[in-house]
Amino acid sequence: MGIVIINNLLSKPAFPALFVVTIWGLNVVFMKVGVTDMAPLLYTGMRFTLLSLLLLPFFRIPREAIGQVIGLAMIMGVGHFCLLSIGLHYVDSVVAGLILLLGAPLSSLLAFIFLNERLRVLQMVAVFAAAMGALVPTLLVGGVEIQAGALLILLCVCMWAVGNLKIRNLSNLSLLTLQFWIGFISAPLCLLAYWLNPADTPLAAQFTINSMLSLAYVVCGSSILAYWLWYQLIKLHGINSVVNYVLLQPVVTMLAGYLILGEVMSGLQLAGAVITLLAMWGFYHSGKQPL
């Protein structure tokens, strides 16, 4: 009965795609809440610990895939998520949400460079314009720490794009299996890094209600539920049917950042956000046109 209900809900992509994008848009805000109370390295380590515990039933992988999975974990876990947590410690969630939007086009750009996949000139221009809109206003008006945080998030997006190329070689493994191993390998590394460089705040004091609720949302909502729904939608309807909904993600983040955290973008940042969203729309729209 439950499977029938889920299939009916996924039969039309609009509502579930908007649901996923809302989860992801709120995810950045909840991560910001988490790393405000908890040191980024500890937060990332606890995130992966909880994720691997919940996904323990999906641990089985072929022995020959272990080496590739370890490499993927270093890129996606230690590289992407750890850098994201550190960057969010310094920048507003709305700025981070815009920069994270660059992940998909950067993945396409790397696939063009290294895998000879098609990419239009207009799409390359759109990637550059989107990056400038997301980064330049913050780099111009922010302090040194904010600038460094924005660049760290850009680096984490690049790591995510590289990880996407690696995942193609592991297409025989389920998403939840990959998630388990990324968490299982990354958790002790992040916790060790925190132990070597602990925060001034006592350990127990970092486990606040806000940080624990943040971890629960990020793991259960974003890492498991949202990603599972997204890949089901792609399987059923194709990427072109759902990808444009991703453009609403920074809008959700902007509203949530204002309502929950009181974050307000400057006029220059708002202009950059408009440029980024228009460039991203152009990137996806150009990709749908026949050569």
Positive or negative, the CA dihedral 173, 174, 175, 180 is negative
At 80-104, the pLDDT tens digits run 999 999 999 999 998 999 899 888 8
pLDDT band (50, 70, 90) for residue 234: confident
Mean pLDDT along residues 148-168 = 89
Amino acid identity, position 180: F
pLDDT band (50, 70, 90) for residue 208: very high
Rounded Cα–Cα distance for residues 181 and 66 (Å): 9
Note down the domain range covering 216.
27-288
Please give the structure tokens belonging to residue 4: 């029938």
At 242-256, the pLDDT tens digits run 777 888 888 899 999
In a domain, 12, yes or no: no
Residue carrying the six token digits 């705040």: 201
Contacts of residue 203, Cβ cutoff 8 Å, sequence gap at least 6: 42
Percent pLDDT > 70 in the chain is 93
Q: What is the pLDDT of residue 27?
A: 94
Asked whether 276 and 112 are in contact (CB, 8 A), the reply is no
In a domain, 160, yes or no: yes
In a domain, 239, yes or no: yes
At 117-146, the pLDDT tens digits run 788 888 889 989 999 999 998 888 778 888
At 189-200, the pLDDT tens digits run 999 999 999 998
Secondary structure string (H, E, C) spanning 167-202: HHCCCCCCHHHHHHHHHHHHHHHHHHHHHHCCCCCC
Rounded Cα–Cα distance for residues 243 and 126 (Å): 16
Specify the higher pLDDT residue, 118 or 74: 74
The residue among 98, 127, 134, 94 whose CA lies nearest residue 110 is 127
In a domain, 172, yes or no: yes
In a domain, 199, yes or no: yes
Q: What is the pTM of this model?
A: 0.90
In a domain, 18, yes or no: no
Note the Cα 205 to chain centre separation in Å. 27
Total number of domains in the chain: 1
Q: What is the DSSP string of the chain?
A: -HHHHHHHHHTSSHHHHHHHHHHHHHHHHHHHHHHHHS-HHHHHHHHHHHHHHHTGGG----GGGHHHHHHHHIIIIIIIIHHHHHHHTTS-HHHHHHHHTTHHHHHHHHHHHHH-----HHHHHHHHHHHHHHHHHHHHHS-HHHHHHHHHHHHHHHHHHHHHHHHHTTTTS-HHHHHHHHHHHHHHHHHHHHHHS--SS-HHHH--HHHHHHHHIIIIIIIIIIHHHHHHHHHHH-HHHHGGGGGGHHHHHHHHIIIII-----HHHHHHHHHHHHHHHHHHHHHHS--
| Burial degree of 58 (CB within 10 A; 0-12, 13-18, 19+) | middle
Mean pLDDT along residues 19-44 = 94
Positive or negative, the CA dihedral 169, 174, 175, 177 is negative
In a domain, 2, yes or no: no
In a domain, 155, yes or no: yes
Q: How far apart are the first and last CA of the chain?
A: 44
Asked whether 133 and 279 are in contact (CB, 8 A), the reply is yes
